[in-house]
Amino acid sequence: MDIRRAAAATIIAVFAYIALFHYPLVRGLELTNLLFYMDVWPTFIAAVGYSTAYLTSTRLNTNLGKPWSRYIGFGAAAALIFYWHLPANSFFGYGVCPADLNNPILYQLKRISYFIVGVLIYFAAKDFNKPWREALAIAFGKVMGWYGFYLTLVTEPLYVAPPVIFSLQLHHEAGAAMILSMIALDFLAAASLINHLFKDKKATPYPLTTS
């Protein structure tokens, strides 16, 4: 088993362990920590979906969809992420975040949606060459960073669905963490791009001039 398969299997195993044996802890963090509820745990679920799609695809040697379908996949994934970030009663009354914490059906639907997001991203991104993957990661980071910046500036809580009320401080902390995540994502993407561009280049000495 190569390192990527091992990593994918580990992500799935860790998720199963946490979901089976530490669910009360997860639930408590979702109810009390906006960043964990809105980004950390959903991202982990999406990683499980991505890992599942990767292992299934490599095992069955499948290549689903046409080249143009990758754009539909990215669009659908972006739409799902956007929707589940809408504050409750926003967007013409269709926003639900964090009302899903009070509704078992919405609660499970959100988690299934993020699993699907991971699957969609895998099949949409697998045929992109390396520079485009990094460009997409940077673009995603910018959206996250700007929204995080917005959260640091709000003067009243956005994510409120009684009895679940995330404080203004939690909004600011989540926003700051999203900005830091954007910076980290930019750094990793830039490092990957530099490695891709120069990994096959032979080192040559800098030409010296003599007078």
Distance between CA atoms of residues 202 and 163, nearest Å: 62
Q: Which tokens is 55 given?
A: 């292992």
Task: Burial-class residue 182 by CB neighbours within 10 Å (0-12, 13-18, 19+).
Answer: buried
Q: Which tokens is 114 given?
A: 């993020």
Distance between CA atoms of residues 80 and 67, nearest Å: 21
pLDDT in tens, 154-195: 999 999 988 888 999 999 999 999 999 999 988 988 888 887
What is the share, in percent, of the chain residues with pLDDT greater than 90? Answer: 54
Distance between CA atoms of residues 175 and 197, nearest Å: 33
Please determine, for residue 129, whether its predicted confidence score (pLDDT) is greater than 80.
no
Please determine, for residue 207, whether its predicted confidence score (pLDDT) is greater than 90.
no
Query: What pLDDT sits at residue 133?
Result: 78
Query: What pLDDT sits at residue 62?
Result: 63
Please determine, for residue 91, whether its predicted confidence score (pLDDT) is greater than 80.
no
Query: What pLDDT sits at residue 134?
Result: 82
Q: Which tokens is 108 given?
A: 């499970």
